[in-house]
Amino acid sequence: MTALPAQYLRETAAWAQDNFEISVPVNVSYEQLWEILAGKLQQLISEDFSRFIFLLYRTDVAEKKVKGILEDAATTGEDPYKAIAALIIERQLQKIISRATYKQHDLPDDEERW
């Protein structure tokens, strides 16, 4: 994982905490967030698969990638949770970076934002 502004990781952690109902330390590292989210995904997949699917949809993770990970896990017997957690974190970071890149600054409230 390349170096990211700490703010982006904090925003991603706060988002994950709210959406996945997990407890995340204030100064969480990427690896810690990845581990915590992977544990929650394991729980969701085994106990509430429909919520897992809903959260993937809400996160806007590529369904094809998730299916590929799950198929590989079924074939190899490996743990899919960390790979899916990485996809979720990556997608959320992409959205945060995109918003920061295209954020419109200094427009009066009555101006239209295109």
Phi, psi of 12 (to 5 degrees): -65, -45
pLDDT for res 113: 56
What mean pLDDT comes out for the span 31-40?
Answer: 96
Evaluate if residue 1 carries a pLDDT over 70: no
Evaluate if residue 114 carries a pLDDT over 60: no
Q: Give the integer Cα–Cα distance in Å for 107 and 105.
A: 6
Q: pTM of this prediction? A: 0.83
pLDDT tens track for 81-90: 999 999 999 9
